Amino acid sequence: MGIRAGLRISIAVVVVFASATVGAAQGVPGTRAHEAGRAGWEAIRAGRAADAAKAFAAALDAEPRDPSLHLGAGLAAHLLGQPTAARHALEQALALAPTYTAASKLLGEILYRGSDLDGAIRVYEEALAHAPADEQMVKRLAEWKKEAALHSGFFQSQGSHFTVLFEGPADEELARRALDLLEAAYWRIGTALYTFPEQVITVVLYTQEQFRDVTRSPDWAAAVYDGRIRVPMRGALRRPEELERVLAHEFTHALVRSIAPRGVPTWLNEGLAVAFEPEGQRWAEDELSRTTTRLPPQRLAGGFAGLSGEEARAAYAQSAATVLRLLDLGGSAAVVGLLRDLAQGEAFAAAFERRMLVPFDTFVSGLR
């Protein structure tokens, strides 16, 4: 189950944008920095992240000491799925203006999603020293500190591309098994999607109670990706095939987010995750032959968290069947190209038709 840039990140982005566009000095009016900065924020408002990145780069070339321009550059990089560039830009904004709360909010969320929980806490603590009445930051910081306190007693197993946190020595065998499965998924799925994450991904193995407390996910959720892969153990050592399925599924979400942090319909995100599970295609086919439950296409575009267990199974199966048809139609390159177009702010229908050479409505009608 993938938690998208959704509630937590979208709130931060909205606050950042509102703060940056109200009274932010982007150079002297009429100058190159001012005009380029204004063009950058207009591109952000229009959803054209790639254009925004170019505009802010031009503005910073003319006026490198304007923190609002670094904020804009960081936001554009974040929307394009470039966390390292986003972090550097936001750090520069805060170096120039330590009280710039908007930059602190976005930087904290990016650090959290990049598995740097301690860094996220530090950024919010420093920001609250300047804005102690900000209720959103106060609440978010409390959540992070609670999670950090839980993880402080966990053991750690380190691999080349993943860090696995687990509660005690009894889970060490499971952690080693998880690392092996994740490394295999890293090369198999990363190669298929021409994408490898910039950062080491943290995986946390929880008890069932811990998982529900931290993630607030529906009862049917087998795992969650929200910048970390979070897995309730559920006796996974006795069912190694289930652990492999869950880890492959959530790692695919990590890859999708690294390509397109926003704008991806849930059916495409979850369908890719199921398609790259071991035996994912067979499961989807079996599930669709077993149940008569079908959800309309527009319902599959939104989140699945509010679905019943039966509806969720149908939604995942339908999504997988749709994505498998896409892969047959255009191949992985076309699907990855579609994700990149969405990251740059292109409208879904236009991007779909350009990459798949058929209108989306026609494609959906063919599926029926």
d(CA 202, CA 206): 13
pLDDT, position 32: 87
pLDDT, position 238: 61
DSSP 223: -
Closest CA to 229 of 158, 163, 133, 328: 163
Q: Which fold has domain 153-246?
A: Glutaredoxin (3.40.30)
d(CA 249, CA 199): 18
Q: 293 and 311 in contact (C-beta within 8 Å)? A: yes
Reading the block at residue 195, the tokens are: 């994408």
Q: How many helices (H) and strands (E) would you count in the chain?
A: 17, 5
- Is 233 strand, coil or helix? coil
Per-block mean pLDDT, blocks of 10 residues, the chain (368 long): 47 44 50 90 90 95 94 93 94 96 94 91 96 94 95 92 91 91 96 91 90 85 90 71 92 94 93 96 93 87 88 94 95 96 92 95 86
Helices (H), the chain: 6-21, 32-46, 49-62, 67-79, 83-96, 101-113, 117-130, 135-151, 172-192, 208-215, 240-259, 266-275, 280-290, 297-301, 309-343, 348-356, 360-367
Domain ranges of the chain: 6-149, 153-246, 260-368
Q: Please identify, in words, the CATH class of the domain defined by 6-149.
A: mainly alpha
Distances (CA, A) of 184 to 1, 174, 279, 340: 20, 15, 15, 25
Please state at what angle helix 101-113 crosses helix 6-21, rounded to 10 degrees.
160
Q: How many CA atoms lie within 13 Å of 133's alpha carbon, on the beta-carbon side?
A: 0
HEC string of 261-273?
CCCCCHHHHHHHH
pLDDT, position 27: 55
Closest CA to 228 of 259, 243, 260, 206: 206
Reading the block at residue 112, the tokens are: 């959290």
* Beta bridge mates, 292: none
pLDDT, position 115: 84
Reading the block at residue 348, the tokens are: 């879904």
pLDDT, position 298: 86
Q: 243 and 259 in contact (C-beta within 8 Å)? A: no
- Is 356 strand, coil or helix? helix
User: Regarding beta strands 162-166 and 201-206, do their DSSP bridges make them parallel or antiparallel, or are they unpaired?
Assistant: parallel
* Host H or E run for residue 339: helix 309-343
118 backbone φψ class: left, alpha, beta (φ>0; ψ -120 to 50): alpha
d(CA 315, CA 297): 10
Closest CA to 154 of 143, 162, 163, 141: 163
Angle at 151 between CA 169 and CA 241, to 5 degrees: 55
DSSP 276: T
d(CA 292, CA 2): 25
- Is 115 strand, coil or helix? coil
For residue 39, the one-letter residue type is A
Q: 82 and 346 in contact (C-beta within 8 Å)? A: no
DSSP 200: P
User: Regarding beta strands 224-225 and 201-206, do their DSSP bridges make them parallel or antiparallel, or are they unpaired?
Assistant: unpaired
pLDDT, position 90: 97
pTM score of the predicted model: 0.85
Burial 175-212 (b: 16+ CB within 10 A, else e): bebbbebbeebbeebbebbebebeeebbbbbbeeebbe
